[in-house]
Structure 1
Amino acid sequence: MGEYNNKPNSEIDMENGEILYDDGKHKFIWLGWGRLETGLIQTNQYLIIDGNKGVLLDPGGIHIFPKVVANVTKYIDLDDIDVIFFSHQDPDVSSGIPMWLSVTNANVYISDLWVRFLPHFGITDFSRIKGIPDGGQRLGDLEVIPAHFMHSPGNHIVFDSKSKILFNADIGAAVFNEGGEYLFVDKDNFNAHTALMEGFHKRYIASSNACRYYVNKVRSLSPKMIAPQHGGVFRDEAVEMFLNWLGNLKCGTDIIDELSR
């Protein structure tokens, strides 16, 4: 049985990152924020190491590439990264694709829907680009799960069956006030955290139907942590609190009259 990160937020290494789960052979790592993101959209990047092989999850855009490389190489050689996963097409997720292809030998996985858009990020060689079908797929111990319209119509999330951590893409995203960032969302700070999530989810998530479909699927996985691409990582009781909150949210087409005034 592995160990989960139980540190309080006051002890988190915000610049260099934290290991969220470690059983000696398998690690799930949050790669930190660093100093380069001040004034920019805050994003989370994650690294899974199983044995001596690595998987990168949403390694991000061009401006954070040097920081992510520096933090990744504290844990694994770039030559040992086999898979790079992109949840959807947004530039904060995927505009660094050409650089990651140039420094690794990894295959890149992204929704079939978005493969044809990659030339706009400078991709000319598609030999290592692998389209993910709408229904998802397995990548070893990782389950790639469809989460369409949350917010992208070609969106996938990843469940790591060994750590039982769910990489959640933009679902659960929060927009921190500058200087008020923290890594973990726990039961004690969850209610305050919803104010940082509500605006994004109401505007970007397509509908409450999409939310309920997602919530039902995720509950069947029983994740120990939910790790979004923006904002904080939900752990312990906050996992179920988040699912309850999202399952009851009115958003997107549910509130189109409100948004159109």
Structure 2
Amino acid sequence: MDMVSLNIDYDRPVKIAENIYWVGFADSEGRLQCNPYLIIDGDEAMLIDGGSRPDFSTVMRKVLQTGISLSQIRYLVYQHYDPDLCGSIPNLESIINTSDLKIISHAENNPFIRHYAPKSPLLCIDKLGGNISLRSGRVIRFFRTPYAHSAGSFITYDQNTGVLFTSDLFGSAGAFNYWKLFATLDNACSSCIISPPSHPDEPCSETEEPCPWTGMHSFHRRIMPGNKQLHHAMGVIETIGARIIAPQHGSILYRPEDISAAIDRLKNMDDIGIDGILPPKRAFK
């Protein structure tokens, strides 16, 4: 499917793969778009990185617009513990209001998630064996990406559709008028070797469009702790072979060439986090 040809209504849930929907808030006032996702599988549903408290009403309206009942939501997945993911936990629990609702994260995240006052059981992906099987047999897999950006960070892979939910990885930030849910990279961007503009909203000299790599570079440089953590995460992602990259911020990547180019870009960034502040380490003689 050619996703960019779709006439997207951002006021409704947006289908990104079979029975998977973006249910986020297209924030025209902000520079950081947040992307919660909903997986529907028969009589079960899983909400991934459910969103902040201010976004709750919009997210829940879009969840209901998919046609599911709230009792179908059995799992809330939180790939790290930031408030833009976890802030709406009490709201979600209150409105879902079922005894079998479970929160899935990692043991390193759970002590922080407890500060959102959850009532549901907090499960650890390690204790689950790194995956969960839904009633239909559909397998959702979890991969650790430690310190990218928190100690308990992980990513979530739906084997049925090939969608990889990458949390902050592949994220970007920029002015709303340049944001699109599905990345539409110019072919020149994949093999670009020119120095990118210094600001995410500054147009590229070649395409006259905002440079996608500038926004991604700027975001990772500020969010990730260092080069090693980011490069390790890219190594994990390369082994998965995802068909769609669905980050929690920025735009979805769905063309193989764009996914490959983005991985290569992130693997070669050498000024991430503390590595962009401290001078190169001198070798001892």
Q: With structure 1 as the length reference, what TM-score do the two structures score? A: 0.87
Out of 264, 273, 282, the residue aligned to residue 252 of structure 1 is 273
1:129 has 2:122 as partner: yes
Q: Secondary structure of the equivalent of 2:167?
A: coil
Task: Check conservation: 2:48, 2:78, Cα contact below 8 A.
Answer: yes
- Partners in 2 of 1:65 and 1:205 — Cα distance? 26
Per-residue deviation, 1:34: 4.1
Instruction: Measure the CA separation in 2 of the matches of 1:9 and 1:32.
Output: 20
Q: How does 1:18-33 map to 2 (within 5 A)?
A: 18-22=14-18, 27-33=19-25
Helix, strand or coil for the counterpart of 2:29? coil
| 1:219 partnered with 2:217 | no
Contact 1:53 1:82 in 2 (8 A): yes
Larger radius of gyration: 2
SS in 2 for 1:70: helix
Partners of 1:48 and 1:59 in 2: CA distance: 12
| Pairing 1:99–2:87 present | no
Who is 1:165 aligned against? 163
Partner Cα distance (2:7, 2:174) in 1? 18
Report the AA paired with residue 87 of structure 1: Q
Match in the other structure for 2:141:
143
Shift of 1:122: 2.8
State the SS of the aligned residue for 2:177: coil
User: Does the aligned pair in 2 maintain the 1:175–1:197 contact within 8 Å?
Assistant: yes
Alpha-carbon contact 1:174-1:196 (below 8 Å) kept: yes
Between the aligned residues of both structures, percent identity stands at 25
State the shift of 1:240 in Å.
0.7
Query: How many Å apart are 1:157 and its aligned residue?
Result: 0.7
Deviation sequence 1:151-204 (CA, Å, 0-9, x none): 111101101100001000001111121322211124417832111111121122
Which structure 1 residue ranges, 5 or more long, are not aligned?
none
Partner of 2:109: 114
User: How many Å apart are 1:13 and its aligned residue?
Assistant: 1.9
When residues 190 and 198 of structure 1 are mapped into structure 2, their CA distance, relative to the original with a 3 A threshold, is farther
Structure (1/2) with the larger strand percentage: 1
1:58–1:87 CA contact under 8 A, matched in 2: yes
Instruction: Give the aligned partner of residue 29 of structure 2.
Output: 38
Q: Which residue of 1 aligns with 2:201?
A: none
CA change 1:95–1:215 in 2 (3 A) is: same
For residues 187-202 of structure 1, the aligned pairs below 5 Å read 187-188=185-186, 191=189, 192-202=211-221
Which consecutive aligned stretches of 4+ in structure 1 deviate over 4 angstroms post-superposition? none
Q: Under a length normalisation based on structure 2, what TM-score does the superposition of the two structures give?
A: 0.80
Is 1:55 the counterpart of 2:46? The answer is yes
* Matched-pair contact (CA < 8 Å) for 1:9–1:182: no
Amino acid across the alignment from 2:218: G
Q: Does 1:240 align with 2:260?
A: yes
Residues 150 and 205, structure 1, Cα contact 8 Å, conserved in 2: yes
Aligned counterparts of 2:273 and 2:25: Cα–Cα separation in 1: 29
Q: Deviations over 1:82-118 (max 9, x none)?
A: 1110011110010111111122232111221122223
Aligned-partner Cα distance in 2 for 1:222–1:112: 26
Q: Residue 244 of structure 2 contacts residue 253 of structure 2 at CA under 8 Å; is this kept in 1?
A: yes
